[in-house]
Structure 1
Amino acid sequence: MAIELFKTFPHVLIMDCTYKTNRYKYPLLEIVSVTSTKLTFSIAFAFMDHEYEDNYTWAMEKLKSRMTHKYPGVIVTDRELELMNAIQKVFSTTSTLLCRWHISKNVLAKCKKLFDRKETWEKFMLSWNLVIFASTKDEYERHLYELTLEYHAYKGALNYVRKTWLNDYKKKFVAAWTNRIMHFGNVTTNRAESAHAKLKRHLESSQGDLESSWTIINSLIELQHVEIKGSFEKSLTLVQHNFKPTIFRELRGVISKSALNMVPMQSQLTHKIGIDKVLYGCVIRSTYGLSCACEIAEFMVHGRPIPLSIVHLHWTRLQVVQSAYDGVSSQVTIKLEMESIYKMFYSKPEPVKLVLKQKLR
């Protein structure tokens, strides 16, 4: 079922290594993803004798060989250069993000000791976070300039954040760039870290062989699937009472409860910003594939419900299908209906064709 889940939710992959899971001291690469109900599931595990680029490339090639659908849209990792190189080699068209949490952790480890006062250090971190979460390039440049100007006396810290992170990797973790990527809110490797913690609790000892480790891994995967199926059923059957029927009626019972809970929060912003896309930025549209406040405002003005067609397919998947992309054969088809639509379309004059095409967008 892990492969079927992967085929159903192939867009985001999160990768991270963990240690002390077996007597051979092999690092264990775990690859996880996330469902429409925001639950983590394991896709693949790989024991490797070394964390070399060739080892990671082998693991990525094995993963790729199991894909019968398009490649993942996003892969989130730590700044493990060998892994990053392997991903670039095998999945060259996939967007890669770096874990913000680990970046902050590294900045803390490397820079805190360079500050003589706790208050100064805390203000520096506040300014650094303003750089990370800048929503536009102009805002990023402004906050970076202010950081450089205010802490010019702390050259060691400034050199570290610029040379180690910003110069080469800002597009992989600064919001001004990541806000343009459909990552469904996954900008850290925390899901993989949590999966590691659960695995180690069940292993109890790091002295098992590979076979015994796999037995426990398999049991954990089975538990994941039970929980995931339960979350799908809740989204399909739970009645939502707090939604205005006119706006949300097409979404209830057909998108996940997790997604449905995010949409009303956007609708609450419509009273503040209306349909001003410049003011809001439509981040939830570009990163989650859900209706943003300005879109909802337009539907409210015209008294129309939010159409399911503008919700990303990720949120509509509430069952494990055999394949999300690869054209599984079925006795039920719409071939005749599509042929009828084609005949009707091409029988119309050109102006009518243009109107029909516009309505289908």
Structure 2
Amino acid sequence: MEYEKPTIKSADHVIKEPISHLMHHVTSNFEFKIGMIFVSEEDAYNTYNTYAIMKGFGVRRGTKRYLRNGDMNRCVFHCSNEGYSSTRPLNEERKRERLAYRCGCLARIRFKIENGIWEIIEFNDLHNHPFVQENQRHFISSARHIPEVNKSISSSLVDVGVKPKMTFRYLSGEAGGIANLGYTETDFNNYMQKSRQTMLSAGDAQTLIDHFKNLQNEDTRFFYTFQLDNDGRMCNFLWRGGVSKLHFDCFGDVIIFDTTYRTNRYNMICAPFVGVNNHLKNIFFGCAFMTDESTSSFVWVFKSFLDSMGGKAPKTIFTDQAYAIGLAIEMVFPSTVHRLCGWHIEKNAKENTPHLFKQVGFKEKYFNKLLWDCVSEIEFELTWKNMVDEWECGENTWLQRLYNLREKWCPAFSRCTFSADIKSTQRSESTNRIFNEMGCKMMSLTEFVNHYESKLVEMRNGETEDDYKNRGKPKILISDCGILNHAATIYTNTIFFRFQEEMLNSISEEVVNFSIEGASRVYTLQRSEDKRTHIVQFDSSNHQTVCSCHKFETLGWLCCHILRVFNTDLRFHSIPMEFVLSRWTKTAKYGLGFDDYFQQKKNTLSSSATTRLNRLTKKSFAVMSMGAADDVTENIVNRHLDLARAEIISYQGNSSVTVDAITCTQEDIQVGALVNEKGILDPIKRRKKGDTNSRLKSSLEKMKKRKRKYHMTLPQLPVQASKPPFVGGAENFDPNWMSGITSNLSLCQYMLPFNKQAGGCVLANKY
């Protein structure tokens, strides 16, 4: 049978590789037509799948029909949103409910198969859902596939002891970014788990400045600044990426500033500026390095950060209990609310009042309530007075200083201060695991910054994946509740689940008193098991609503008390928009320049020699993998490589490509040389012997570590020698207790330091 050869792409063999590798086969203006033919199922599927990914939807294989002789004669490929997700009851034991993406889309392509030729007989390109955004398309299931060449590379890296995360980072770097890799980190980890393989994984200051300059050339919004001491040595520096500025414009109302981490080589203080996005995930606004914790250093860091953000100051800042930080905040951020870390408050309390924390009831009855649970200033003052009277600790100087700072750490004094659900810098300290993954004990500043930036790419990819998952509708436990359905539409999934929890809690709230004062309605609510009452005031003229718990002012979503009034008493079917904080919505980043920024970055990268090299490397890997099948295919690859090399050499000999490349390199070298002439010296190496990459430990933590270090258990003794050597104190010591021991161990290896005061022994490694 005569048939027209497909004009889409050559299909002499089946292509099995990531969809990103196939993009060059289908142009942006390509369209399917009735009667178009293909030579195989994989040829048809790959072409339609490539077309789908470029449009922004996924593909699923549909129904196949066969003749009586077993030959296929009909086949259909659907949009991945075809049909509807199965409805099943909520399983409380299931850790994570799947999100629903299928919405009954009818887009599809149908083929007729005769004599092995696939002909299009139906093509429906009408979708009932929005397409996936370009920066999210690599998460589509049909676009994800791990090629054999990457599996081979992974196996090679396993042999040299590289960790899975480092392997994935390398592969994504070779691909020109995670989006171009063709599969996600989860896909990669699943493959590694299935294959049961274990993976393991200097002018320093001037090099760093040159590196910052290169980053600024690639990203015009990149910002960096540094400070030199009198000897020309770098003492402080700060940097942030361009996307960090966009993040701060959207989520910069609350920041966390943590100084509990030091680097290795220079013992410099690493102080990241951390925020929270609309998925309640950490985001970095910038990072600073300091040689000391003086007020002047903090002032310089805060001023530099303020300049990098266009003069916009945060509403709230969380820090540890450092006096110098407080002074610097008052000078640079006078209108910013300064809050202290509750985790550090509790840690310092254990160190400064150990005699109280050892007593049963002090922490549980008083301190925890003061630190976390007081809802009013009156309740705080009464609880503090009762604590001082009962434990007679009014003369304790540390507690007196803590009381004077109560407005900065007790929630009763910050009920109207927005905190984005942050209670301590523990969120910031959790980011220190990023720095703990450094492979070199003496990492340079440039290596540290590279490590930091690569981790940011991973975090931002995770954020993009969270944005992608928000396309699915979360599980609504009260399906006929208009407010919950509205919340599921506007809020991110993470915030919706918090909101839904408040709605469920509102069921337990009862109105114990109601009054009308003009246009205001006053509700007094109480739970049956709680003695506390909360007052909700609703103004019917403008819908202004205030609750005495002030959770909306603090967290940004409505509390259970207001929801009880809105849902049950006022019969609202949606959330009034004045109570929808945009930073928690799915559209929080819309209109702030994120799309333009990433498009600019994409255009810059697409024209770089590195990106061209990555594209060629990916394609050549696929060809070489096929060429390694046997001697014939190897000869084919070698012959074409020789022809390509000869053609490139001929082209370069008749053009200025090589000259331009050399000139560009020389310009880069000259820029570095000019900067070097300024004489920026490295910070003084202050690292002491034995220092590690860990967070700064308190004296209490060090004491606990020493106790654990000297703890051991006695060797198992024979039955005849199992009598305890000490019974009731030193006067009852049995000198013959080792008579039944036949081992060669000496007495000092069994003997332990004797604690006469306790009347017993202390286990230790050494006598």
> Which bracket does the TM-score occupy, shorter chain normalised?
0.7 to 0.9
Give the aligned partner of residue 341 of structure 1. Answer: none
* Structure 2 counterpart of 1:200, from 423, 436, 449: 436
- Structure 2: give runs of 5+ residues left out of the alignment: 1-242, 512-522, 526-531, 535-547, 598-767
Give the aligned partner of residue 146 of structure 1. Answer: 386
Give the aligned partner of residue 160 of structure 1. Answer: 398
Give the aligned partner of residue 299 of structure 1. Answer: 566
* Structure 2 counterpart of 1:290, from 557, 562, 573: 557
Contact 1:12–1:33 at 8 Å: present in 2 too? yes
Structure 2 residue identity aligned to 1:134: C
1:215-247: per-residue Cα shift (whole Å, max 9, x none)? 000001111101111112223423333244422
How far apart in 2 are the matches of 1:70 and 1:46? 18
How far apart in 1 are the matches of 2:588 and 2:550? 27
Structure 2 residue identity aligned to 1:131: L
Q: 1:45 to 1:323 in 2, by over 3 A?
A: same
Give the aligned partner of residue 448 of structure 2. Answer: 213
1:160-193: per-residue Cα shift (whole Å, max 9, x none)? 2222x111x1011112112221102112001110
How far apart in 2 are the matches of 1:159 and 1:60? 31
Contact 1:8–1:322 at 8 Å: present in 2 too? no
Give the aligned partner of residue 332 of structure 1. Answer: none
Q: 1:22 to 1:282 in 2, by over 3 A?
A: same
CA drift at 1:319: 5.6
How far apart in 2 are the matches of 1:243 and 1:204? 49
Contact 1:33–1:41 at 8 Å: present in 2 too? yes
Mapping of residues 1-361 of structure 1, within 5 Å: 1-68=243-310, 70-112=312-354, 114-115=355-356, 118=358, 121-126=359-364, 127-132=366-371, 133-152=373-392, 154=393, 158-163=396-401, 165-167=402-404, 169-201=405-437, 203-244=438-479, 245-271=481-507, 272-274=509-511, 275-276=523-524, 279-280=533-534, 281-300=548-567, 301-304=569-572, 305-318=574-587, 320-321=589-590, 323=592
Contact 2:278–2:588 at 8 Å: present in 1 too? no
Contact 2:470–2:586 at 8 Å: present in 1 too? no
CA drift at 1:66: 1.9
Q: 1:250 to 1:4 in 2, by over 3 A?
A: same
Give the aligned partner of residue 344 of structure 1. Answer: none
Structure 2 residue identity aligned to 1:276: T
Q: 1:192 to 1:146 in 2, by over 3 A?
A: same
Give the aligned partner of residue 351 of structure 1. Answer: none
How far apart in 2 are the matches of 1:88 and 1:106? 23
Contact 1:179–1:287 at 8 Å: present in 2 too? yes
How far apart in 2 are the matches of 1:195 and 1:237? 28
How far apart in 2 are the matches of 1:306 and 1:243? 15
SS at match of 1:253: helix
How far apart in 1 are the matches of 2:460 and 2:496? 22
CA drift at 1:322: 6.5
Structure 2 residue identity aligned to 1:128: F
Q: 1:323 to 1:67 in 2, by over 3 A?
A: farther
Answer with 244-253 or 190-199: which moved more. Answer: 244-253
SS at match of 1:237: coil
Q: 1:69 to 1:314 in 2, by over 3 A?
A: farther
TM-score by length of 1: 0.81
How far apart in 2 are the matches of 1:136 and 1:262? 23
Structure 2 residue identity aligned to 1:184: A
How far apart in 1 are the matches of 2:324 and 2:492? 36
Contact 1:22–1:207 at 8 Å: present in 2 too? yes
TM-score by length of 2: 0.39
SS at match of 1:79: coil
Structure 2 residue identity aligned to 1:160: W
How far apart in 1 are the matches of 2:254 and 2:266? 31
Number of residue pairs aligned between Structure 1 and Structure 2: 316
SS at match of 2:488: coil
1:48-105: per-residue Cα shift (whole Å, max 9, x none)? 1211111111111111112247421100000111122112211110111000011000
How far apart in 1 are the matches of 2:578 and 2:262? 46
Contact 1:285–1:291 at 8 Å: present in 2 too? yes
Contact 2:318–2:425 at 8 Å: present in 1 too? yes
Contact 1:99–1:189 at 8 Å: present in 2 too? yes
CA drift at 1:43: 1.2
Q: 1:12 to 1:317 in 2, by over 3 A?
A: farther
How far apart in 2 are the matches of 1:13 and 1:224? 17
Give the aligned partner of residue 169 of structure 2. Answer: none
How far apart in 1 are the matches of 2:450 and 2:320? 28
Contact 1:254–1:316 at 8 Å: present in 2 too? yes
SS at match of 1:249: helix
- Structure 1: give runs of 5+ residues left out of the alignment: 329-361
Contact 1:14–1:76 at 8 Å: present in 2 too? yes
Structure 1 residue identity aligned to 2:423: V
SS at match of 2:490: coil
Contact 2:318–2:339 at 8 Å: present in 1 too? yes
Contact 1:72–1:94 at 8 Å: present in 2 too? yes
SS at match of 2:360: helix
How far apart in 1 are the matches of 2:477 and 2:346? 38
SS at match of 1:252: helix
1:250-305: per-residue Cα shift (whole Å, max 9, x none)? 22232112221122222233342344269233332121121122321222223222
SS at match of 1:130: helix
How far apart in 1 are the matches of 2:550 and 2:586? 22
Higher strand share: 2
How far apart in 2 are the matches of 1:321 and 1:61? 28
SS at match of 2:324: helix
Q: 1:273 to 1:178 in 2, by over 3 A?
A: farther
Higher helix share: 1
Query: Sequence identity of aligned pairs in percent?
Result: 20
Q: RCO (CA 8 Å, sep 6+): is it higher in 1 or 2?
A: 1
Answer with 296-305 or 10-19: which moved more. Answer: 296-305
Structure 2 residue identity aligned to 1:130: K
How far apart in 2 are the matches of 1:313 and 1:322? 12
Contact 1:5–1:321 at 8 Å: present in 2 too? no
